[in-house]
Amino acid sequence: MVTGAGSGLGQALALELLRRGARVAAVDLRSEGLQETMAKAGSLGEGLSLHPLDITDKEKVAALPEEVERVHGQVDGLINNAGIIQPFKRLLDLDEAAMERVMRVNFWGTLHMTRAFLPRLLKRPEAHLVNVSSMGAFVPVPGQALYGASKAAVMLLTEALWAELQGTPVRVTLVLPGAMRTGIAEHSGVEAPRAEGAKVPVLEPEVAAKRLLDAVERDAFRVLLGRDAQTMDLLYRLSPALAARIVQRRMAHLLT
């Protein structure tokens, strides 16, 4: 199972999983995105099923495991990748609808999917749960306070699940990507500000997908995707205030 499989990292994950011999159930809000994933899969598309779905709809998510099992027989892994960002605004300038939407998709969507599929995963001889959080979960980004809070919730949820599921067949991996070429702003319905002169290394989704799946095969507890995520993780461990100040100085002009 891969959510957000109609574009970006989710699409790259679905395609890479197919190349590695897996069967994939692809979930996305956008049917057109899923059709694009199928087209890119080519001859590998025989192992791909498409499931247009809003992961914030708890009842539809609860019905999804049976739907997927009818197609594939069983589910051995769940990658909660779907997510959106917020409008690039200060907290007090955000409206309630925007704040609730970010939390519903990023946190509650991940939670609904996990609770729906975990009972199935626990019955398998070996299974894996992967939750995609963000570098923004541990480094505060001005103009993305709610997004960061939602991804921080996903991060701690995942770490707690890792502890709770010790001694079971289910392994858990937390993913913390940095900047990536995914089109998340467009699919979130927000305008991304232009960071003039910023020299931020941007990871391609195809490269990120391979690194993520390699980490899953190693049963990694935590994987940082991108040089920026790795650097800021180290810096934040050494000095949280310094890490926060560096990001603030680079991003503050985008809010003026």
- The model's pLDDT over 100-148, given as tens digits with 9 standing for 90+, comes to 999 999 999 999 999 999 999 999 999 999 999 999 999 999 999 999 9
What is the pTM for the complete model shown? Answer: 0.92
Say how far apart CA 50 and CA 58 lie, in whole Å.
19
Q: What per-residue confidence (pLDDT) applies to 196?
A: 46
Catalytically annotated residue among 88, 138, 147, 236: 147
Angstrom distance (rounded) from CA 25 to CA 219: 21
CA distances from 109 to 76, 134, 167, 251 (A): 19, 15, 26, 28
CB 154 within 8 A of CB 133: yes
Q: Is 147 a catalytic residue?
A: yes
Structure tokens at 145: 């306070």
pLDDT at 189: 58
* Measured distance CA(151)–CA(133) in Å, rounded: 5
Domains of the chain: 2-255 (3.40.50.720)
The percent of residues above 70 in pLDDT, for the chain, comes to 91
